[in-house]
Structure 1
Amino acid sequence: MLETSGPSELKFDPFDPAFVEDPYPTYRRFREQAPIYAWEQVKGHVVFRYRDVMALIRDPRLVTDGTLGSGFPDELRAAYPDYVAIRENDLFMMPPSAHARVRKLVTPLFGPRNLEAHRPRVTQIITDVLAALPEDGVINVFRDFAQTYPVRVIAAMLNIPSGSEPEFLAFADALIATIFPGLPPEQFAGYMPAVSRGLDIVRACIADRRERPMADDLMTHLISACDDADRLNDAELLSLVGGLIIGGSDTTVHLTTYTILELLRHPDQLALLRADPSLARLALDETLRYNAFGRGGGLARFVDQPFTFEGVEFHRGQPVFLNTPSAFRDPEFVSDPDVYDIRRRTNSSPWFGHGPHFCLGASLARLEAETALQQFLARYPTIELVSKPVYGNHPIFRDILDLPVRVSTK
C-alpha cells in the first residue's frame, strides 16, 4: 500500500476535463493538503511543493532510468527491437558514466552560441509559414502555425530529405507517449510503426552523411563529434536525433501555442511585448512558469534506493513524479505566483530540467519559439481570441488542438 501525506479523499485525475482546462486550483489543494500524494493509478507518488520538488530533483536515490539498470524485458526486446535500441541509448537511461561521456561530446553543438548560426534558417522557415497564412480572418494557432514550423527547422538543420516532416512528427509523438508509465499495451503497440519509420529515415541520413559530409549540417557535426578519438556510435546518434526531435519540435509546438494564448488572455502583457520585442524570451519563460503544458504528473523519476522523505516511504522501483507545474505556482518560489508578468526574472529558470539532465534541446526550443513569437506578432498587429482553446487527450501534455484567433495585418 502506498503512503500519502494527506487526506485519502483527495483524488488526482489529470484527465478530468476541468483539470485539463485549469489544473492550478487542484495543485493548490494538493500543495496544502497532500504535498506528497500516493497516486495508485501508476503505483507511485506525485510531489507538489516547490521545496520538495527541488530537493528530490537533486536526490541521487532517484534516477531517470525506469528499468533501474535491469534493461528491458526480453519479450519487449523481441517484439520491438527498434524501440528498445533507441531507448537504451537515450540520455535519460544511460548509466552516469556513459551519460557524462555523450553530454561532453555533444553539448557544445547545442549551446546558444553555436545554435545562433542557425537563426537565419529558422527565421526564413517561419517567414515562409507566415506568408502562407491569410492576411485577415480566423486561424488555428496550433494547427496553422505552431505545429507547422518546428519539424521543418529540425529537418533543415539535419538536412533530412524533404517530405519527411509528418513521419518526424509522428516519431516524436510516439517516443514521448511511450515514456508514460502504465500505457495500455495496445496503445503502446500502436506507436511502434511510427518509431520504425522514423528510425529508417534517420539511419538513411546517417549513412549518407558518413559518405558525403555537409557544411553547416548538424548531422555531420554529430557524426564528427570527437574527444580523444572517442566518437558517438550509430545507436547513440539515433537516440540523440530522436531526443532532438522531441526537445526541439514537440516542446516548441506547445510552448508557442501556450505563450500566444496567455498573451491574448493578458492584453497588458501583450502590449508590453509589442512595445519591446526583446521581452519575447522572458515571455516564454514566464509562460512555462505560469501555465506549463504538462498534463499533471511532472518529471518522472524512479526510486533506485529506498528512503523516507517527509515521513513518506519510497520503495525501490516506484515512480516519483516531481510536479514542476505545481512547484512553479508555489508562493515559496515567487511571491505572486498567480500573476502573469513577462518582465519577471527569477534567480533560476528550471523549466527544462536540472543539472546533468537539463534538456539538451532547450536552447533550440527557445531560439525557435522566440523567433516565431516575434514574427507572429509583427505579422499581425491585430489578434483576438475567438473562443476558448480545445484540449486533446495526449498522455503527457495538456495539448491544445484548437486555438482559434482572429487576425489582421492592418
Structure 2
Amino acid sequence: MTLPPVYDYCVIGGGIVGVATAHRILSRRPGASLLLVEKASTLARHQTGHNSGVIHSGIYYEPGSLKARLCREGARRTKEFAAEHHIPFRTCGKLLVATNSAEHARMLALYERSVTNGVEVELLDAAELVRREPRVTGVGALFVPDTGIIDYTRVTEELARQVREAGGEIRLSTEITALAETEDAVTVSGPSGSWRARRLVVCGGLQSDRLARLAGLDIDLRIVPFRGEYYQLPPSREDLVRTLIYPIPDPELPFLGVHLSPTIDGELTVGPNAVLGLAREGYRKGSVDLRDLREILGFRGFHRVAATNTRTGLRELRNSLFKRGYLAECRRYCPELTLADLLPREAGIRAQAVLRDGRLVHDFLLERTPRSVHVLNAPSPAATSALPIADYIVNELDI
C-alpha cells in the first residue's frame, strides 16, 4: 500500500488558536509544508465566532498563571496585528460594577489582583461611576481602560490568508476520526482522506478530549459544553453605554457573568449566561446530541460539578427558560432595561474541561506525545491570547 505524502506539520482545528499556531509555525519555518484541517465548512465556526469579541486585559486571572501572562501579551499583540492589517478594533475600556457590599469586597480583592498582574485599573466610587455611565448603577466599580472590542473571525481570516500565502494548505469540511503515531510520523485520517505529518498540533476546542483519546492519550478529563445565551438590544438602545459593563465575578465560578457588550459593528449585546449544553455543537435552543448527552451523564466528574453547583445551575437554567430572570441579572447594574429590549441572538458554547474528581480546569492545558501537542483546555481569554498561545505551542514542538 502506498503511504500518503508526509507534511512537515499538521494542525487540526480552524479556530483562532489553531490558525494562529499554523501561522506561527510558518513564520518560524518558512518553506515548511503544513496542512490545517477543520471539520466545519468555515474557519472560526465555533468558540472563536461565538463570543463577545472582547480584547481582555488580564485583570481576573491567578497571578503567575499562563492565562494572566498570555492575556496581557495577547491583548497588546492583537491590537498591533489588527492595526497592521487594517482590522477594526476599539479600546473602549471596561467597567466592573459592584452592586452590593459583598460584591464591593470582592471588587477590592480584584483590584489588588489586577495590581499584582500589572494591569492598569482605576477604582471608582458610586458617584464617579454614574458620572461616567449615567444609566449604570452600583456602589462602586473598577475601570480597566485597556480593554477593547474586535471581531475575532476577521482576525482568524487574516491569519489564514497569510498561512495560505506562506504555502500552507487549509482543508475545510474535513473531519478527523483516526490518529496513529509511529516513530517517524503521525497519520491523520477521516472520511475525506488520510494524511501524514512529522509533527501534529491538535487545537480541537469542543472536540479536544475526543481527539486526544483517538491519539491514545490517557486523559483524566472530559469536555463539558456550557451554552452561553446572548440577547441583542434594539438599535434605539445602542448608545445605552459607552464602555463594556461587567458584574463583579464570583471567584468560585469560571464564568464572568452577564455583561453589556458593545460590538465593533456598532451593536450592543447582553450575555452570556452559562447553562449545561446538551450538544457540543448545537447552537439552537433545545439542541440535543445523544452521544454528547450520554458522555456527560456517564462522566463522574460532571456529577461532582453538578452536586457542588446545584444552586448556581438551577439559577442559570431558570434564567434560560424565563426571560424575566435573565433580565433581573441585567437590571442589577442597568435598571432601565426592559423585556422588550432583549432580542434574540445566537448562543455560544464554551468547551469547559472537567477533571474526573469534579474540578474545573481554569488554566490553559497542553499534553504531549513524542510527535504531537494537544491543546486540551483553552478557556477565555483564548481569543485574546491566541498569538502568544501559538508561540507557547510552537515552543513545545521545539521549533
| Fold equivalence (TM over 0.5) | no
When normalised by structure 2's length, the TM-score is: 0.27
More helix by share: 1
More strand by share: 2
